[in-house]
């Protein structure tokens, strides 16, 4: 990957909107027994929003790290690794009860870890697979624009 | 009037269709008839089962040069057409089974011809790359299309019709017929342009013919890997799925996928096999109907027409037509130029040596020339054989690998690796905060430019920079590099330990032939090197392989030189940064816009685009790469879409996905 800052942000938001949110809603519905219970589902949605928000804050840091690399690129392996770092940070901060809109109890114990990890896995795997190439099939200019959408 | 000596380039063709050994020059010093055949009495004896004893004659007079079939069993062909008798023009190719003879232009000066003369046949060995001594394009004596084109900036369609040459009209014309043309045409087809609207003109049978020849010569056979990315697929405009995934599908292995995942930091960069690239190009060529669009012909000139289009003059190769009927015009609304490396020349000292010592030509070779016989001889010959490999790029790495393979047959092969200077681990090129990796005195980079030049921040920055800043970035980011491959590193380290590989630092100051001494000691070459310490080291080598590359000069292509002169086209320039100040160097590629349009050729609604090495120094750094060709094709076809003149539909997300699905299922676009 050779993303630019704008490309990182746009691709992140795209994957959030078109893969992350739908999967999260389905996942939330699953845990509410396929009943629309926004009070529960919103925990999943806000959790994903927080990870995305943290990612947006970290994107300039990643871009800085890229400039120290001769190829100014970002290996897929780094993308993989840092995605889980972002998840880990948000999870443990939420578990400590430091995120006001995320209820502390939802992240406690083995069950809290399991629910959140499964949630992120379900969102991350298709997002990451999309990054590996399928996005190029839909957006033929995307790979030349460092991850930005639109015309050249 | 014919100027003597008349020169033919003679090449032997193997069963696989590629040239065998070096090319040779046949010099005919005076008028007369020269018999070619298998017979002992033949003036030019050629071997081969399918060559007749008396195969053909070359009949030379003061007025013309003609070829005459002598009743051969398998026939004499000129540019692919079987002939009984035919007057030849410069560039015509006579082919008989196993051999090609090409009529060359007269030598620039009698001196440069007689230097190779004295020996009647097989005088000098000159490669397919046209080698000339000065800056002038090789002289031609053609008459077509001079009558219609000479001295005119614009030609009228009526005048062309009146000339009597066949004319065809299409919307899009790709000039070149190589990979660059193929990629552009592939984009047009995937954007929905029907094959009937497109013509590609070139002399290659398949679009990768020239590329494959360079690969073969520089010792990359089909099973070896190229220096290219998994997602840089010239047969797929989307670049997905990549070659690594294709290998999984073909059952070759999943290793590539893990390489792509970790590259370039945690694993060696994945690169595709040459043969896989060629195979997948064959599949795509069939899918888009490449052979229906291809005119096997040589492009001779291009002019603007008075109705806002372009006239392309070409000479058909092969087919039914002969004589003047082969000279034709194609009228097109939009033209794409991708003629690749024009006639190319070698570095100066190497060029001087082969000009002065044609007899020592078998001892020295540029890595891009056919030079397999060196390895074969070295393997066969017992006893020590010393190779000097010059240069530190990827080609040198591959040549050294080939030599280390040859050591299995002759363990006394020694490699002297000549490099200009030693590069310490911390001496790699610097660009702002980053420094290029160095291994064994060679700078390491996965591909020929830093990756972000293809689509990252450097692409954007370079595109938006001024001409001078572009030139400076080019000089800072460029340079000779090789890929980090564990087998290559192991060869250098083991070889140094065991004493059969030795790097030598310094500038090669002289090359001289070493005559053979008895049967035990065949001819060789003496290489003098001025070392950095100020000493002169003289090495007696058996062979020298020069891997310093080729110098591309677009003026050496008569076609491009004519365009430059007729339309006063601008060129890009090289820049060098010294003491913080940029100095302008020599001209490089054709100037074009960020959409790869050559503005100087704009003609009403007509547009001309370019791609590949002829655009060096332009809006993109990595023009000479698979992905670079795709980038420029995308830009220029997108430009056609934006302008809405030529009715090319945009490739938005839905149409893109649809086109990709067709690619995946092998359906025609």
Cβ–Cβ < 8 Å for B181, B174: yes
pLDDT at B665: 97
Provide the token pair at B71. 């009743």
The distance of A64 to chain B (nearest Cα, Å) reads 10
pLDDT at B558: 81
Q: If pLDDT is split at 50, 70 and 90, which confidence band does B23 have?
A: low
pLDDT at B123: 36
The distance of B292 to chain A (nearest Cα, Å) reads 26
The distance of B261 to chain A (nearest Cα, Å) reads 5
User: Residue B112 pLDDT more than 90?
Assistant: no
pLDDT at B368: 86
Q: Encode pLDDT of A93-131 as tens digits.
A: 999 999 999 999 999 999 999 999 999 999 999 999 999
**Yes or no, beta carbons of B240 and A134 under 8 Å apart:** yes
The distance of B376 to chain A (nearest Cα, Å) reads 39
Q: Which residue has the tokens 């060709």?
A: B629
Q: If pLDDT is split at 50, 70 and 90, which confidence band does B120 have?
A: very low
**Yes or no, beta carbons of B456 and A3 under 8 Å apart:** yes
- Say how many C-beta atoms besides its own lie within 10 A of residue B651's C-beta: 24
Cβ–Cβ < 8 Å for A138, B653: yes
Prediction pTM value: 0.85
Span B489-512, mean pLDDT? 94
Q: If pLDDT is split at 50, 70 and 90, which confidence band does B307 have?
A: very high
pLDDT at B125: 28
The distance of B505 to chain A (nearest Cα, Å) reads 26
pLDDT at B2: 81
Residue of B nearest to A133 (CA): B240
Q: If pLDDT is split at 50, 70 and 90, which confidence band does B24 have?
A: confident
Any CB–CB contact under 8 A between B649 and chain A?
no
From chain B, the residues in CB contact with A72 under 8 A are: 434, 450-452, 456-458
Q: Given its phi and psi angles, is residue A139 left (phi above 0), alpha (psi -120 to 50 degrees) or beta?
A: beta
The C-alpha atoms of residue B469 and residue B575 are separated, in whole angstroms, by: 9
B residues 545-584 closer than 8 Å to A (CB) = none
pLDDT at B119: 29
Residue of A nearest to B454 (CA): A144
Flag residues of chain A having pLDDT under 70.
none
pLDDT at A47: 97
> Mean pLDDT: which of B275-279, B365-369, B555-559 is highest?
B275-279
| Residue B539 bridge partners (DSSP) | B527
A residues 69-128 closer than 8 Å to B (CB) = 69-73, 75-78, 80
The alpha carbon dihedral of B58, B59, B61, B65 has a sign of negative
User: Residue B294 pLDDT more than 80?
Assistant: yes
Stretch (H or E) spanning B460: helix B457-464
Span B142-148, mean pLDDT? 79
**Yes or no, beta carbons of B238 and A76 under 8 Å apart:** no
What is the count of residue pairs from A and B with beta carbons less than 8 Å apart?
Answer: 114
Span B302-319, mean pLDDT? 91
Provide the token pair at B637. 């076809």
SS (H, E, C) chain A: CCCCHHHHHHHHHHHHHHHHHHHHHHHHHHHCCCCCCHHHHHHHHHHHHHHHHHHHHHHHHHHHHHHCCCCCCCCHHHHHHHHHHHHHHHHHHHHCCCCCCCCHHHHCHHHHHHHHHHHHHHHHHHHHHHHCCHHHHHCCCHHHCCCCCCCC
pLDDT at A116: 97
Its ipTM equals 0.96
From chain A, the residues in CB contact with B458 under 8 A are: 72
């Amino acid at each position: 990957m050779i993303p630019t800052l704008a490309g990182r942000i746009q691709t992140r938001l795209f994957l959030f909107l078109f893969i992350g949110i739908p999967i999260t809603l389905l996942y939330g519905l699953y845990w509410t027994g396929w009943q629309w219970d926004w009070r529960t589902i919103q925990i999943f949605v806000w959790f994903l929003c927080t990870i995305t928000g943290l990612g947006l804050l970290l994107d300039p840091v990643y871009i800085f790290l890229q400039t120290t690399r001769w190829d100014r690129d970002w290996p897929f392996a780094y993308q993989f690794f840092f995605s889980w770092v972002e998840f880990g940070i948000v999870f443990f901060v939420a578990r400590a009860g430091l995120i006001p809109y995320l209820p502390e109890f939802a992240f406690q114990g083995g069950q809290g870890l399991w629910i959140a990890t499964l949630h992120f896995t379900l969102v991350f795997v298709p997002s990451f697979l999309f990054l590996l190439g399928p996005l190029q099939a839909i957006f033929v200019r995307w790979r030349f624009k460092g991850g930005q959408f639109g015309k050249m | 009037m014919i100027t003597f000596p008349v020169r033919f380039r003679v090449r032997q063709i193997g069963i696989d269709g590629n040239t065998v050994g070096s090319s040779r020059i046949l010099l005919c010093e005076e008028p007369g008839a020269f018999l070619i055949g298998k017979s002992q009495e033949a003036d030019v004896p050629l071997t081969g089962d399918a060559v007749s004893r008396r195969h053909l004659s070359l009949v030379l007079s003061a007025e013309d040069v003609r070829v005459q079939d002598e009743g051969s069993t398998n026939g004499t062909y000129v540019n692919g057409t079987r002939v009984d008798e035919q007057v030849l023009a410069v560039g015509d190719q006579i082919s008989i089974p196993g051999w090609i003879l090409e009529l060359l232009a007269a030598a620039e000066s009698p001196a440069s011809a007689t230097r190779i003369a004295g020996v009647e046949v097989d005088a000098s060995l000159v490669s397919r790359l046209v080698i000339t001594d000065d800056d002038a394009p090789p002289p031609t004596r053609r008459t077509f299309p001079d009558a219609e084109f000479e001295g005119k900036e614009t030609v009228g369609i009526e005048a062309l019709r009146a000339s009597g040459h066949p004319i065809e009209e299409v919307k899009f014309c790709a000039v070149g017929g190589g990979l660059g043309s193929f990629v552009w045409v592939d984009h047009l087809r995937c954007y929905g342009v029907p094959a009937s609207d497109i013509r590609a003109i070139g002399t290659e049978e398949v679009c990768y013919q020239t590329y494959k020849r360079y690969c073969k010569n520089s010792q990359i056979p089909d099973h070896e890997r190229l220096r290219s990315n998994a997602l840089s697929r010239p047969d797929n405009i989307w670049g997905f799925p990549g070659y690594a995934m294709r290998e999984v599908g073909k059952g070759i292995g999943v290793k590539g996928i893990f390489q792509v995942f970790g590259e370039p930091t945690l694993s060696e960069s994945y690169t595709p096999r040459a043969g896989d690239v060629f195979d997948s190009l064959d599949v795509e060529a069939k899918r888009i109907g490449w052979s229906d669009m291809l005119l096997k012909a040589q492009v001779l000139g291009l002019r603007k027409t008075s109705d806002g289009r372009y006239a392309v003059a070409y000479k058909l190769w092969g087919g039914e037509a002969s004589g003047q009927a082969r000279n034709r015009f194609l009228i097109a609304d939009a033209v794409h130029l991708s003629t690749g490396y024009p006639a190319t020349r070698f570095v100066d000292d190497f060029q001087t040596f082969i000009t002065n010592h044609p007899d020592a030509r078998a001892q020295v070779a540029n890595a891009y020339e056919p030079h397999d016989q060196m390895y074969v001889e070295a393997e066969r010959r017992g006893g020590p054989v010393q190779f000097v490999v010059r240069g530190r790029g990827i080609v040198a790495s591959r040549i050294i690998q080939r030599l280390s393979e040859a050591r299995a047959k002759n363990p006394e092969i020694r490699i002297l690796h000549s490099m200009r200077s030693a590069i310490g681990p911390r001496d790699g090129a610097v660009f702002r905060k980053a420094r290029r990796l160095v291994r064994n005195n060679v700078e390491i980079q996965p591909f020929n430019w830093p990756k972000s030049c293809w689509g990252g921040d450097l692409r954007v920055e370079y595109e938006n920079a001024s001409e001078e800043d572009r030139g400076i970035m080019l000089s800072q980011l460029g340079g000779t590099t090789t890929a980090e491959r564990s087998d290559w590193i192991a060869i250098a380290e083991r070889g140094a330990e065991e004493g059969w590989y030795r790097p030598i630092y310094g500038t090669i100051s002289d090359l001289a032939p070493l005559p053979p001494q008895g049967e035990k000691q065949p001819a060789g070459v003496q290489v003098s090197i001025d070392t950095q310490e100020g000493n002169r080291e003289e090495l007696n080598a058996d062979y020298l392989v020069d891997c310093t590359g080729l110098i591309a000069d677009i003026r050496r292509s008569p076609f491009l030189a004519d365009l430059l002169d007729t339309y006063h086209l601008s060129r890009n320039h090289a820049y060098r940064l010294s003491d913080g100040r940029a100095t302008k160097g020599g001209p490089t590629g054709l100037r074009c816009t960020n959409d790869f349009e050559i503005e100087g050729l704009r003609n009403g609604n007509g547009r001309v685009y370019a791609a590949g090495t002829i655009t060096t120094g332009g809006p993109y750094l990595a023009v000479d790469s698979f992905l670079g060709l795709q980038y420029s094709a995308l830009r220029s076809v997108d430009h056609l879409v934006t302008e809405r003149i030529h009715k090319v539909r945009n490739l938005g997300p839905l149409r893109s996905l649809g086109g990709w699905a067709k690619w995946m299922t092998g359906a025609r676009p």
